[in-house]
């Protein structure tokens, strides 16, 4: 009886220590995330699982589960680079995780004019790759034009615009101090900093981490990952360990 009690206590201790270690790794080093929407297509697909490094921009209360108020502001802070793919907490509730591309730095003026992206009155150069691609917007398939965009710091990335050019023009967005402006790569199917009431400008304290690479991917639109017999149909092996640019 005593042996069984000791065995039980030791196992509880082992589980407890394992949870503490996992919590430390998740909070300080690296955290997995799941992509639930099509706002970052074609670069991130629904069903992608990716790793985000928490140390890249330093730490705030949002680095920890449930955002406990244990850090005032940000410690070990490092500035993100334009073009980074970033996970952040939405300012509207400081709880929901979003992932978008960083386009505007503090003080920048961002505007979409005649379907073109401008940063500080300078047009972001883009080269058309294709005019007959299709991607998802929610559950709908949308025809798009695919471009390679070059940001002012020479970072290149792929973006897509609806063939119907639904996002032609916008107001001027002036990014406040200590805030950032984010866009989805799927420009006509993304709730991002253009929507001031729901996302808007993101304070530096809301940054969670930088997306690094995809470690697993499955097409969740076709079947749940728990349907093992469907794996040959839904697993995207070509996306495993793919670096996020």
Tell me the per-residue pLDDT of 198-242, one tens digit each, with 9 for 90 and over: 899 999 999 999 999 999 999 988 999 889 999 999 999 999 999
Q: Which of 54, 61, 89, 100 is labelled catalytic?
A: 100
**Given pLDDT bands bounded at 50, 70 and 90, which one contains residue 7?**
low
Q: How far apart are the first and last CA of the chain?
A: 58
Catalytic residue selected from 37, 39, 60, 193: 39
Residue 161, domain CATH: 2.10.109.10
Quote the number of domains for the chain.
1
Place of tokens 């030791």: 10
- Other beta carbons less than 10 A from residue 143's beta carbon: 13
* Pairwise CA distance, residues 55 & 209, whole Å: 7
pTM for the whole structure: 0.90
Q: Is 193 a catalytic residue?
A: no
Answer whether the bond into residue 137 is a cis peptide, omega within 30°.
Answer: no
Residue 13 known to be catalytic = no
Tokens 């039980």 map to which residue? 8
Domain that residue 117 falls in: 2-243
Separate counts of helices (H) and strands (E) for the chain: 2, 15
Number of residues that this document lists for the chain = 245
């Amino acid at each position: 009886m005593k042996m069984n009690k000791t065995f039980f206590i030791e196992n509880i201790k082992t589980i407890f220590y394992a949870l503490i270690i996992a919590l430390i790794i998740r909070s300080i080093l690296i955290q997995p995330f799941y992509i639930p929407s099509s706002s970052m297509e074609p670069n991130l697909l629904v069903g992608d699982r990716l790793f985000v490094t928490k140390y890249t921009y330093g730490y705030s209360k949002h680095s920890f589960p449930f955002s406990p108020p244990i850090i005032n502001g940000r410690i070990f802070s490092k500035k993100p680079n334009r073009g980074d793919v970033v996970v952040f907490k939405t300012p509207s509730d400081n709880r929901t995780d979003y992932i978008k591309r960083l386009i505007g730095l503090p003080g920048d003026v961002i505007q979409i004019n005649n379907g073109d992206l401008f940063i500080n009155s300078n047009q972001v150069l883009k080269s058309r790759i294709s005019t007959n691609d299709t991607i998802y917007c929610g559950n709908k398939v949308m025809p798009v034009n695919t471009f390679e965009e070059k940001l002012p710091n020479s970072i290149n990335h792929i973006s897509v615009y609806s063939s119907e050019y639904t996002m032609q023009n916008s107001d001027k967005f002036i990014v406040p101090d200590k805030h950032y402006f984010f866009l989805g790569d799927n420009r006509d199917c993304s709730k991002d900093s253009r929507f001031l009431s729901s996302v808007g400008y993101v304070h530096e304290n809301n940054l969670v981490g930088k997306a690094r690479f995809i470690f697993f991917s499955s097409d969740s639109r076709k079947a749940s990952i728990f349907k093992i017999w469907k794996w040959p149909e839904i697993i995207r092996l070509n996306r495993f360990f793919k670096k996020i640019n």
